[in-house]
Structure 1
Amino acid sequence: MNELPVVLIVDDEPSARQTMEMLLMREGYQLSFAADAYEALAHLDDEDEALPDVILLDVMMPGMDGFVLCQRLKQNPNYQHIPIILVTALDSKQDLARGLEAGADDFLHKPYHGLELRARVRSMLRIKKRHDALQVALQLRQDLANMIVHDIRSPLSSILIACDLLEPQLTDTENLEMIRSEASRLSAFLTDMLMLAKMEDGRLILSRSKVNINHMAVSVYDSFSPEAHLKNIQFVLDLPPQAPVVSVDANLWRRVMDNLVSNAIKFSPTNGVVTLRVSAGAEDSLKIEVIDEGPGIPAEHQETIFDKYKIISAGQRDVKQVGLGLAFCKMVVDAHNGRIFVTPNQPKGSVFTVIL
């Protein structure tokens, strides 16, 4: 928030704007004015103007009324955090409900008293101040998490290098392979975290190239076949005769397929079957399915598993399904203008489907 709180007054009546200015002038606010909704939008889009901390918005305006403007602002990620006080002479419950549906944070009914106006503005400023403080705290936490991820990568790389150096000196490498496997999993987890941070900050740029999906699927199959064999899981690869070639970021897309197959093997029971299937979808789209026979995903969690903040029990002892890998998949698929979703497998298990 600025040193002086910024209050934007939007009203098509010059006398109404002047009245509000007089009632608020001693409060120490920086006041801005707009004569209609379009002028208000232009003010908000002007990079030279400070974003308001509170908007006083008249409802009855020509062209675009206050309800519509309020709804537009609350749908815009850049402005939805700004508290809006609707100023109106309308007092029916229908009008109140319409204002709430539009996203209004408070109401000021005409004719209003200066004491009430000032109290409502102060109330909204307190809410905005708490919001700003929370955003700063969340950003600090995110920055700290990113620093920790970067710092962990160096010792992790040392562990993997040490595994390679030790291997020729050992006759029984089973435990060494376990160390290498778990360190590689942790490395992949850290990579996903860094990628997620870049995507959320808008710093990730897709490096698209023509990719033969059949070739990539075979590579995924070869990578995970040993892990499936150790669990006595039958890993099936189902590819179309005509190999699909699509324009994607090859590294990110490989991470998506790796995450989905890794989850399928991890949650499938011994002697189960995991299938990686590539096929043509409707209207020449690409369809990738990863099918398992695990505990399945409850219907109420089929959306939340793609949320990185959700942790859902997969129904197996000592195994938890964490949403980070799936959240990464969703963000990558969304960045490619595709879709990812999960449906039940029959008689049990899940089918994760990606359509591009």
Structure 2
Amino acid sequence: MAVPFLLVTCFFVFLYSGMRHAYIEQAKRLARFTAVCIADRIDPEDLDAIKTAKDMTGETYKKLQDTLISFHNSAELIRYAWIMRRSTAPGAKTSDYEFVVDLPSSDEDMNGVIDDDEQTDLPGTKYDASPYPALINAWNTSGADDTISPDPPRPPLLSGYAPITNAAGRTVAVAGADVTAEDIEKQLFAVRVMVFTFGGILAAMFSAVIVLYCSRRDMLQQISNMNTELQHKNERLEEATTLRNDLSNMIVHDMRNHMTIVSGYSTLLKDSLKDYQHTHNAETSDIWHQLETAIKQLIDFMQDMLILAKSESGKLAPHFQMTDVKELISESVKCCDSIASLNKISIETSYPSGPIESHVDRHLLIRVIDNLMLNAIKHSDSYSKVKVTLATSLNDADQNIILITVADEGYGVPPEIKNNLFKKYHAGDNSVAATKAIGLGLAFCKMAIEEHKGRIYLKDSPKGAVFVVELPWCNNDPTTAASQGSGGKA
């Protein structure tokens, strides 16, 4: 099956190579012919009058230059035309040449600048002809370069040469005409288009033959499909294992937050017991109650780890039930108030007057609120405020939603980490103005809120950080509501 294509490819490669060789030979003949014509038009005695750059202002130089210009303009491929002679300096070699006449400076590429390769070479400018045997031999007979050669600062060239002889038959100079590789390539482009177009037509004919061989590959294709399916299953298994590990890390992160709360309440309780005679017993009981609540939440998280370890899918398994979101947030605020007090930070709340009941997973949502509040406290200065707001609204689809906002007056989130804020394991640097150690917590928040078919995002704020949680306000399972429409409250 590959043999016909190989044969066709080889055929067109040889065809193009042959046509390219023929075209380059044609360019060599053109350059040589132009050089011979220039040499035939030049009066050798005029060259004796050109010695230095001062002679460029004379009529003789202008006449010689006009001759070069006329040949340059008459042949489209001729980029440069010039006259050189051998150097007469003491010790000069046969390969040491110098310019006599060159084309005037002009903006050939029309870029608004006279580039180095567009500058006129002044009479007497030295030129080393040793890389160009045809130029050295041109003192005796006309010829052309065998291949395209570099000629800095000019682009790669293919040049033709012809001797200029006096009445006695002695060579006094060499006329040259150059064709650039770029101009040759432009002409070859049309050749390539023709060759490859014809090749495409021929390849299309062979494609009909290839169809006959497709049936022989069916069995191999089936095996390949089975291998691909097996590979995908292995990848999904690896993803499930990775996700299970990530969730375990997130739960451990939450445990650390609640251990911070336990530590805060323990400190308060310790101070309270020291001054028991000056402290009301009810206050001590309340602190003890908050400590028990935090410990209970820590036990719940440990239970989550056990459930996760037994899970085969490695995904969160939320349990939705009707919950008063207002009461849930109040519980979280009360739980975090001790750590805020230790840091001399006040927590302000703004709730609707009545209850806000919706179908949510109580444990997941309270963990989200705890994470956001602890992050806000952690990155706030002393004597600042953390504001927690609960409200209801309509989204762009006119569906009822619950809005939970946690705002602080800290340093905010640096712009360079905003795009990665909710990615796993992401954290800022250790500077004061940076957000630190929030990667796993916010990654968990995003995962938990998305399980509720909601979203969490960072809102632009002139000061501090403002995190917003949007949840569907619904009477039934949000996963069912998402598939059936709004399902919101009237």
TM-score (norm 2): 0.38
Would the alpha carbon gap of residues 329 and 16 (structure 1) be closer, same or farther in structure 2, given more than 3 Å must change? farther
Instruction: Select which of 4, 11, 15 maps to 2:212.
Output: 15
Instruction: Select which of 308, 312, 320 maps to 2:428.
Output: 312
Would the alpha carbon gap of residues 272 and 314 (structure 1) be closer, same or farther in structure 2, given more than 3 Å must change? farther
Deviation at 1:323, TM superposition (A): 0.8
Question: For structure 2, which runs of at least 5 residues remain unmatched after alignment?
Answer: 1-209, 276-287, 472-490
Is structure 2 residue 218 aligned with structure 1 residue 218?
no
Match of 2:470 in 1: 355
Is structure 2 residue 430 aligned with structure 1 residue 240?
no
Deviation at 1:217, TM superposition (A): 1.6
1:352 and 1:261 map into 2 onto residues whose CA distance is: 10
1:29-44 pair list within 5 angstroms: 31-32=221-222
> Amino acid of the residue matched to residue 222 of structure 2?
S
Deviation at 1:271, TM superposition (A): 0.8
Deviation at 1:229, TM superposition (A): 1.4
> Amino acid of the residue matched to residue 269 of structure 1?
D
Deviation readout 1:314-356 (Å, 9 max, x if unpaired): 742897233111111100100010010012322x111000001
Is structure 2 residue 374 aligned with structure 1 residue 262?
yes
Would the alpha carbon gap of residues 140 and 262 (structure 1) be closer, same or farther in structure 2, given more than 3 Å must change? closer
Would the alpha carbon gap of residues 310 and 195 (structure 1) be closer, same or farther in structure 2, given more than 3 Å must change? farther
Secondary structure at the counterpart of residue 312 of structure 1: coil
Match of 2:342 in 1: 230
Would the alpha carbon gap of residues 188 and 274 (structure 1) be closer, same or farther in structure 2, given more than 3 Å must change? farther
Deviation readout 1:146-188 (Å, 9 max, x if unpaired): 59x99xx9xx99xx8xx99xx89x9559xxx9xx89x969959
Secondary structure at the counterpart of residue 429 of structure 2: strand
* Larger of the two Rg values belongs to structure: 2
Is structure 2 residue 391 aligned with structure 1 residue 279?
yes
> Amino acid of the residue matched to residue 343 of structure 1?
K
Match of 2:52 in 1: none
2:297 and 2:439 map into 1 onto residues whose CA distance is: 15
Is structure 2 residue 440 aligned with structure 1 residue 328?
no
Identity between Structure 1 and Structure 2 (%): 24
Deviation at 1:234, TM superposition (A): 1.6
Secondary structure at the counterpart of residue 291 of structure 1: strand
1:79-158 pair list within 5 angstroms: 139=241
Deviation readout 1:69-108 (Å, 9 max, x if unpaired): xxxxxxxxx58xxxxxxxxxxxxxxxxxxxxxxxxxxxxx
Would the alpha carbon gap of residues 192 and 254 (structure 1) be closer, same or farther in structure 2, given more than 3 Å must change? farther
1:251 and 1:190 map into 2 onto residues whose CA distance is: 9
Match of 1:107 in 2: none
Deviation at 1:231, TM superposition (A): 1.2
Would the alpha carbon gap of residues 278 and 184 (structure 1) be closer, same or farther in structure 2, given more than 3 Å must change? same
Secondary structure at the counterpart of residue 275 of structure 1: strand
Secondary structure at the counterpart of residue 364 of structure 2: helix
> Amino acid of the residue matched to residue 225 of structure 1?
D
2:407 and 2:305 map into 1 onto residues whose CA distance is: 27
Deviation at 1:257, TM superposition (A): 0.7
Deviation at 1:141, TM superposition (A): 11
Match of 2:316 in 1: 204
Please give the root-mean-square deviation of Cα atoms over the aligned residues, in Å. 4.8
Secondary structure at the counterpart of residue 323 of structure 2: strand
Aligned residues: 230
> Amino acid of the residue matched to residue 413 of structure 2?
I
Secondary structure at the counterpart of residue 206 of structure 1: coil
Matched-pair contact (CA < 8 Å) for 2:413–2:434: no
Would the alpha carbon gap of residues 195 and 237 (structure 1) be closer, same or farther in structure 2, given more than 3 Å must change? farther
Match of 2:144 in 1: none
Is structure 2 residue 418 aligned with structure 1 residue 302?
yes
Matched-pair contact (CA < 8 Å) for 1:307–1:327: yes
> Amino acid of the residue matched to residue 354 of structure 1?
V
Deviation readout 1:85-137 (Å, 9 max, x if unpaired): xxxxxxxxxxxxxxxxxxxxxxxxxxxxxxxxxxxxxxxxxxxxxx96x9869
Deviation at 1:52, TM superposition (A): 4.1
Match of 2:461 in 1: 345
Secondary structure at the counterpart of residue 342 of structure 1: strand
Deviation at 1:222, TM superposition (A): 1.2
Would the alpha carbon gap of residues 331 and 197 (structure 1) be closer, same or farther in structure 2, given more than 3 Å must change? farther
Matched-pair contact (CA < 8 Å) for 1:264–1:292: yes
Secondary structure at the counterpart of residue 437 of structure 2: strand
> Amino acid of the residue matched to residue 294 of structure 1?
G
Deviation at 1:273, TM superposition (A): 0.8
> Amino acid of the residue matched to residue 220 of structure 1?
S
Deviation at 1:252, TM superposition (A): 0.8
Deviation at 1:190, TM superposition (A): 6.8
Match of 1:100 in 2: none
Secondary structure at the counterpart of residue 212 of structure 2: helix
Deviation at 1:300, TM superposition (A): 3.7
Deviation readout 1:265-303 (Å, 9 max, x if unpaired): 111111111001000121321000000111111234223
Secondary structure at the counterpart of residue 320 of structure 1: coil
1:301 and 1:185 map into 2 onto residues whose CA distance is: 34
> Amino acid of the residue matched to residue 400 of structure 2?
D
